[in-house]
Structure 1
Amino acid sequence: METLQNIQSIVTALAAVVGVLIAWLGLSAWKRQTRWQQGRGLAVNTMQSFFEFKRVVLAFPKVAYFQYDKDSSEEHRVDAHTAAAEQAAAYCEILENAFTMFESYIAEAIIVWDDDFDEIQNRVSDIEHIVRGAVLSGVSAINPKISTSQRESATSVHHSWKSDFFGVNEEKRSVGMMLAEVQQMIEKALKQKKLS
């Protein structure tokens, strides 16, 4: 009788140990799945925010090309500058919002995964600065209140974004290549995480 009770106690103890082990394995699997799902969501959001940033950047030449009209009246030049400044401010706000959204996902990726995304963040920041500078130089290029030399300097920067006779725009092509490189970097980093 005592042997039967001992065997029953051992079986009960083993059942408890097996139950704990099964529970631990189940929780571990659930934890891995949850982490993967969160990582996958972060990967999707990162790519979507990059594509939105890319769309906004590539819309720049359509949005903001300004031409100084030296033959018009001072009032007309001031009005044109004011309208251009408003248009540039609206575009820069859209650009800033797209950049900030992408940057927030990259910051989260750096925290969640590691620093593979630092170079990506730096490159996207460079693109944002290049485009913002071109937009603001366009506004300065038609500002009637600055000196001719300042206006000419801004015009030279701004005109580099204008397509030539054959429709070729070297600055847009250069930024497009930078965007393509960043996209490849993101895809490579996500593949290394097995999330893309």
Structure 2
Amino acid sequence: MSEIAAAISAFGNFVMAFAAIAAAVVAANGLSTWKKQGLWQRDTELAKNLFLKLRSRSDAFIELRVRMVTSGEMVAALERSFDPFDPKEKDAAYLAAINKRMIALQERRREMYPDVVEATAVWGGAIESLSKQLATLETKVLFAHQDVSELSGNSHLPRSASEQLKTDRSVAFGTKDDSTGTAYFELVEKIEELLREKLHGGRT
């Protein structure tokens, strides 16, 4: 009788031990799933933020390279009305509008920077590297606009400066002879491809 009781007790202990192990496995799997879900949510949120800020940044780049400036944009930039028939007034209003676009692009880049740093911390440096290459092209266009602003008002430029002005205008406004825009949006597409991977649950 004691042997039967001992066997029953041993079997009970085995069942309890098995149940404890099973519970631990279930808990571990649950914790693993929770962690994966948390990582997916983090990646998705970061990718969405970067996608939106990248689009805002590239839109500002496009706008900066549009040659036409509306009278409304010039008034907003000057924060006052101006005489459109006065060449000096009109030039000042135009330059103010271009300057406002330049500031907007730099602001969009700064807004994206914290998310780029976070992406580097959790995904590695691929997006940061591409973003730096974007910044290089943006700076090239910004400097071209500055040169155009400085040289355009001078009607007695030497030949070399006139050639430089022609090149600067091509970079600033994206003529068919300039490859800056093509290179820029190739980089944008590469970043977007990386972000789509994150949005679809991939991890690199």
The question of a shared fold, defined as TM-score above 0.5 by the shorter chain, is answered with yes
Q: Aligned runs of 1:34-183 on 2, under 5 Å? A: 34-62=38-66, 79-80=89-90, 82-142=92-152, 152=162, 155-161=165-171, 169-171=176-178, 174-183=179-188
Q: Which amino acid aligns with 1:22?
A: V
- Equivalent-residue separation in structure 1 for 2:68 and 2:139 (angstroms): 15
Q: 1:85 to 1:100 in 2, by over 3 A?
A: same
TM-score (normalised: structure 2): 0.70
- Equivalent-residue separation in structure 2 for 1:107 and 1:158 (angstroms): 32
2:31 aligned partner:
27
Compute the displacement of 1:107 (Å): 2.0
Q: 1:64 to 1:135 in 2, by over 3 A?
A: farther
In structure 1, runs of 5+ residues without a counterpart are 66-75
Alignment RMSD (CA, Å): 3.3
Give the percent of matched residue pairs that are identical in Structure 1 and Structure 2: 18
- Equivalent-residue separation in structure 2 for 1:28 and 1:14 (angstroms): 21
TM-score (normalised: structure 1): 0.72
Checking the alignment, whether the CA contact within 8 Å between 1:134 and 1:158 is kept in structure 2 is yes
In structure 2, runs of 5+ residues without a counterpart are 70-85
Q: 1:163 to 1:38 in 2, by over 3 A?
A: closer
Q: Deviations for 1:68-97, whole angstroms, at most 9, x for unmatched residues?
A: xxxxxxxx6764554344323311221012
Compute the displacement of 1:179 (Å): 2.5
Q: 1:188 to 1:25 in 2, by over 3 A?
A: same
Q: 1:136 to 1:39 in 2, by over 3 A?
A: same
State the number of aligned residues.
Answer: 179
Larger Rg: 2
Compute the displacement of 1:59 (Å): 1.2
